[in-house]
């Protein structure tokens, strides 16, 4: 470890004084601070507010089998040091409560509600007591992520505890939408409080597609769980599988061969390309710009056919294996990629020129759905949405993985925070990705495409991360005995970004909601799990 990080850490320990019971390394990039639960809010606030750490993920874990306690892990990312600090606290099963961090640190809001639903650990003083993951008709005293809860137990439905914002005034119209929507879209329920056409407040009820995926993964062999990881989400399948594989490889202290790292990067950029191109087309559906919709969909299809041609799957499933990649590419496939990208680049440029020179399209996108920088910072927004609001986070650059430290690339950032800025980020990133792929193909090293993994020691934990097309995705993994999963927590970009959507739609007109929603392009599946 570098000297500066050591100094920085020891200084931090001094500043925190006796609040930190112990401090130890977990791999090269992560330091774990064990604190009493009463000190949790202070230490977390210090790391977030004073030290400018980003709340990366938060995990609750039932470790009663191991040492008799529940555990909470608040992970902060310090991008300038390329280091993570995890604040860990143990919670006595006889008193399953902890002081809420969300009071001071708004980004922790969902995580703590989730821990309450799934593990029965109650955050005291939390500003929002409503259920999150499990809907209101789930019995309040059953917690599926506890180890003594059988995976396939079906709980009875009870009187619903769902609550939406009540309005006193008769001038406010409540507009309920969903969970099933009019198009081919994922399910979610929206409750608008509108005054005339203008949105006063939006309550979003999500987690309709909660499948109990994390629970289902427990006890699953790691090799099989890779298939589960790439099925968390359809369109970020590869990002999820890479993040999972990285977590496993980090526990096993394995470095994948250079060719595998390059190939992962190559396929990850192909994933970003088909998503971003499709999303730019899809945004056009928000204002009925048919040419844009069709062109976007056509170019996306061409990219997906390229995926299938090169990797054997339209959504790039089956590309990753633990310790490397399954798919290697030939010289001829390289040429096919270059040729297709040249065509797509030209066509996409035409689409973009058309879109950005169209007065009505520009009028609808500009100043619509503004997400302010301070909101984005407070909620730890990631990905395209963050970079469009002037928040420069990109985990490819900030904590590089695969071969992202080998290829130079530019991270576009816009300040406006509106729909247009989010579209512009995608457009810029499409051209960046194409340039990156050309470099990667040019400098693709030869050699093995995978390495074998040693047996993993039980109860070790590690993280894997990946910048999916929607933003930073984190997989926190603890292995159990016999190469199985003990606890697996998936924090997708969508999970971080959803709480920002209600803030961005406020003051806009109801008919602009689909457009704003499309510009964030959040998927529900990897949020709900």
Q: How many CB atoms lie within 10 A of CB 388?
A: 29
Calculate ∠ Cα 143-147-152, nearest 5°. Answer: 70
CB 141 within 8 A of CB 158: no
Which tokens sit at 254?
């394995």
Cα gap 405→407, rounded to integer Å? 6
Our finding on whether 524 is near other proteins (CB under 8 A) is yes
Nearest to 410 by CA among 445, 450, 367, 439: 439
Kindly tell me which residue out of 123, 131, 144, 252 binds other proteins, with binding defined by CB under 8 A. 144
The helix (run of H) or strand (run of E) holding residue 338 is helix 331-356
Shortest distance, position 181 Cβ to other proteins, whole Å: 9
Q: Does 314 bind other proteins (CB under 8 A)?
A: yes
In the range 422-461, which residues lie near other proteins by CB under 8 A?
none
317 lies in the binding site for other proteins (CB under 8 A): yes
186 CB neighbour count, 10 Å cutoff: 18
Shortest Å distance, C-beta 277 to other proteins: 12
Q: Does 349 bind other proteins (CB under 8 A)?
A: no
Report the nearest approach of other proteins to the CB of residue 156 (Å): 11
- CB-based contacts of 308, cutoff 8 Å, min separation 6: 314
Q: Is 277 in the site for other proteins (CB under 8 A)?
A: no
With binding defined as CB under 8 A, does residue 231 bind other proteins? yes
Site string for other proteins, 170-199 (x = CB under 8 A): ---------xx-xxxxxx------------
Q: Tell me how crowded residue 278 is: count the other CB atoms within 10 A of its CB.
A: 21
Site residues for other proteins, 197-226, by CB under 8 A, read 207-213, 215-216, 224
Instruction: Indicate whether 151 belongs to the interface with other proteins (CB under 8 A).
Output: yes
Residues 80-139 that bind other proteins (CB under 8 A): 134-135, 138
Q: Name the residue among 507, 502, 418, 501 with its Cα closest to residue 197.
A: 507
Q: How many residues bind other proteins (CB under 8 A)?
A: 50
Cα-based distances in Å from 385 to 271, 412, 493: 18, 12, 10
What does the alpha-carbon distance between residue 124 and residue 140 come to, in Å, rounded to a whole number? 16
Nearer to other proteins, 361 or 526 (CB): 526
- Residue 96 vs 212, nearer CB to other proteins: 212
Q: What letter would DSSP give residue 415?
A: S
Minimum CB distance to other proteins, residue 409 (Å): 26
Residues making contact with other proteins (CB under 8 A): 134-135, 138, 144, 149-155, 179-180, 182-187, 207-213, 215-216, 224, 227-228, 231-235, 237, 294, 297-298, 300-301, 304, 314-315, 317, 523-526
């Amino acid at each position: 470890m570098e000297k500066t990080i050591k100094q920085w850490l020891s200084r931090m320990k001094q500043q925190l004084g006796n609040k930190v019971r112990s401090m130890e390394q977990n791999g090269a990039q992560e330091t774990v601070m064990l604190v009493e639960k009463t000190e949790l809010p202070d230490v977390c606030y210090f790391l977030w507010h004073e030290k400018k750490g980003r709340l990366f993920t938060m995990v609750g874990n039932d470790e009663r089998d191991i040492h008799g306690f529940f555990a909470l892990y608040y992970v902060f990312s310090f991008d300038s040091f390329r280091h993570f600090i995890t604040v860990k606290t143990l919670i006595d099963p006889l008193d399953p409560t902890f002081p809420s961090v969300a009071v001071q640190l708004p980004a922790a809001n969902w995580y703590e509600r989730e821990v309450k639903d799934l593990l029965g650990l109650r955050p005291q003083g939390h500003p929002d007591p409503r259920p999150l993951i499990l809907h209101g008709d789930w019995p309040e005293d059953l917690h599926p992520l506890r180890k003594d809860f059988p995976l396939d137990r079906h709980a009875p439905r009870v009187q619903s505890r769902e609550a939406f914002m009540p309005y006193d005034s008769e001038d406010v119209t409540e507009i309920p939408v969903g969970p099933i929507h009019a198009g081919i879209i994922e399910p979610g329920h929206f409750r608008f409080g509108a005054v005339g056409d203008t949105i006063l407040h939006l309550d979003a009820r999500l987690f309709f597609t909660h499948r109990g995926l994390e629970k289902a993964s427990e006890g699953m062999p790691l090799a099989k769980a890779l298939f589960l990881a790439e099925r968390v989400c359809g369109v970020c399948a590869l990002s999820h599988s890479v993040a999972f594989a990285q977590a496993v490889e980090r526990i096993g202290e394995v470095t994948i061969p250079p060719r595998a790292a390059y190939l992962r990067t190559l396929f990850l950029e192909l994933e970003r390309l088909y998503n971003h191109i499709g999303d730019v087309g899809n945004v056009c559906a928000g204002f009925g710009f048919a040419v844009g919709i069709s062109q976007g969909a056509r170019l996306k299809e061409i990219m997906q056919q390229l995926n299938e041609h090169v990797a054997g799957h339209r959504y790039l499933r089956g590309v990753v294996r633990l310790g490397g990649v399954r798919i290697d590419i030939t010289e001829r496939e390289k040429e096919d990629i270059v040729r297709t990208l040249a065509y797509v680049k030209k066509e996409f440029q035409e689409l973009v020129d058309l879109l950005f020179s169209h007065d009505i399209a520009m009028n609808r996108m500009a100043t619509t759905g503004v997400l302010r920088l301070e909101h984005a910072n407070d909620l730890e927004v990631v990905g395209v949405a963050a970079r469009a609001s002037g928040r420069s986070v990109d985990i490819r650059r900030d904590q590089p993985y695969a071969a992202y430290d080998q290829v130079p690339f530019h991270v576009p950032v816009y300040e406006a925070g509106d729909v247009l800025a989010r579209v512009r980020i995608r457009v810029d990133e499409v051209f960046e990705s194409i340039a990156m792929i050309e470099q990667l193909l040019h400098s693709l090293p030869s050699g093995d495409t995978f390495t074998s993994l040693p047996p993993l020691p039980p109860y070790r934990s590690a993280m894997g991360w990946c910048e999916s097309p929607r933003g930073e995705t984190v997989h926190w993994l603890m292995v159990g005995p016999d190469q199985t999963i003990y606890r697996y927590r998936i924090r997708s970009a969508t999970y971080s970004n959803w709480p920002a959507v209600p803030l961005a739609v406020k003051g806009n007109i109801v008919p602009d909601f689909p457009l704003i929603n499309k510009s964030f392009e959040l998927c529900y599946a990897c949020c709900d799990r």
